[in-house]
Amino acid sequence: MAMSGQTLDIMGDRQSGQDVRTQNVMACQAVANIVKSSLGPVGLDKMLVDDIGDVTITNDGATILKMLDVEHPAAKVLVELAELQDREVGDGTTSVVIIAAELLKRANDLVRNKIHPTSIISGYRLAMREACKYVDEKLAMKVEKLGKDSLVNCAKTSMSSKLIADDSDFFANLVVEAVQAVKMTNARGEIKYPIKGINILKAHGKSAKDSSLLNGYALNTGRAAQGMPLRVAPARIACLDFNLQKTKMQMGIQVLVTDPRELEKIRQREADMTKERIEKLLKAGANVVLTTKGIDDMALKASFNYFVEAGAIAVRRVRKEDLRHVAKATGATMVSTFADMEGEETFDLSFLGHADEVVEERVSDDDVIMIKGTKNSSAVSLILRGANDYMLDEMERALHDALCIVKRTLESNMVVAGGGAVEAALSVYLEYLATTLGSREQLAIAEFAESLLIIPKVLAVNAAKDATELVAKLRAYHHTAQTKADKKHLSSMGLDLSKGIVRNNLEAGVIEPAMSKVKIIQFATEAAITILRIDDMIKLVKDESQNGED
């Protein structure tokens, strides 16, 4: 029996050819339009309310897209793209999505004009390679040429579109100090900046300007009991991932007790086991015990309090993530059980981590435990202050982006001018490149060049400036820079969005790491190509009949 073209033998429907492409492009445009208005120093924020009524106010592209519940499969690619950018670079999530959507839209127009997707894809690939090469060779500047301020300026550029833009001077310096504090050299002799070692604590009250940088890794909890010392130095730290509660019998174990006096013995033994465990810890020389689970109150009570007698600090309910970082910084081993190979319970000296001191300090109204002078990599903590949760969360996101950017700048040492400068330069360069090719890729590369201009355009539109005029001026400058040998310095002309003019952004201190730009172009192109390749979509219908019987 012949089926009609659109229904399949399997339960589902199928769309192919141009329909699918148009749909995919529409879906991607929709996603890009959501984040579009949040790009740039005058970008607007989004307020997202999720299904249980939690409110998030944010400007961070990755966060916005993560919170959206995206149904369309092609649009999901863009969401994953933003997450990838967030993981790899840490900033530039909005730009990546906008460029990818624009590339797609233009590719779709080309397909409509009878150019095969394969030609477009190879054109885009070529353009991407050329663009990245051009950024590295012609546009990127060594950080040494620009001095220490360049780090602060990178941080400020990253923050300019965020909530804390007004205090960006203050925060940029905090961020640069924090990143430089965690500098370490790994086994291969490369200098790395593990920004995971920077712990961000949020405390209500005071204003954003009262945020501060503390030297040491801060844990957001206090000591487990009052009698413990406030300060231990030098500290030997045990990181545990299990309960120091009273040992209870496992479920399903039956104990037949004939004599009621025996019951007391069982209880006593249970208590003793905990006591033994704690004694083992202290015998090994631990004077700071951090655990992700609980510590028995009984072990903390005065008569029993081994910790107080030993002058040790115990902290319970530490976040697992924090514990990992502490273990890494102090050289401790996270221990999840005391049992060794022989089944005996032991605690080895080598599991302990070392730090100069562990102190309990007050920050605003909370007690925090500070671990200072850690053995391996140094750790610092940023304490953020602010009026309310939304503000603090958004500050944390902004600082995360800025930290990543400073790290990238330090590790790659190359920066480019911001404010649409790179995109405009690449656009002019690729357009010229396209005219030198005698193959079909010419059109695709020309469209790629056009697509990059979306960034300066959106920047200008968000700033309520005349985009057409500004972009035209910008391109004129870049054309001059690329054609006249004595005008090379014009290649860092970008937009000044508060005044609505074109200026030299390297001098104005609007800079970004070159790596961030290169990755944006690569990821956006890859995503666009992935979606462009699709020409058939088969959607299976959920089979209703089986739900009931199973």
Question: Among 56, 58, 94, 274, which one carries the catalytic annotation?
Answer: 94
Distance CA 88, CA 203 (A): 29
* Nearest alpha carbon to residue 32 among 73, 55, 61, 60: 61
Question: Among 60, 91, 296, 496, which one carries the catalytic annotation?
Answer: 60
Are the beta carbons of 194 and 374 closer than 8 angstroms?
Answer: no
CB neighbours (10 Å) of residue 514?
A: 24
Distance CA 184, CA 189 (A): 9
* Chain CA centroid to CA 500, Å: 31
Task: Indicate the DSSP class of residue 413.
Answer: -
Are the beta carbons of 368 and 361 closer than 8 angstroms?
Answer: yes
Is 401 designated active site? Answer: yes
List, in order, residues 6 or more apart from 344 with CB less than 8 Å away: none
Is 93 designated active site? Answer: yes
The answer, yes or no, to whether the previous bond of 234 is cis (omega within 30 of 0) is: yes
Question: Among 401, 409, 496, 525, which one carries the catalytic annotation?
Answer: 401
Is 56 designated active site? Answer: no
Are the beta carbons of 502 and 496 closer than 8 angstroms?
Answer: yes
478 phi-psi bin (left φ>0, alpha ψ -120 to 50, beta other)? alpha
* Nearest alpha carbon to residue 458 among 102, 77, 48: 102
Q: What are phi and psi of 448, to 5 degrees?
A: -60, -45
Question: Among 56, 58, 63, 93, which one carries the catalytic annotation?
Answer: 93
* Nearest alpha carbon to residue 365 among 125, 501, 205: 205
Point out the residues that are catalytic: 60, 93-94, 401
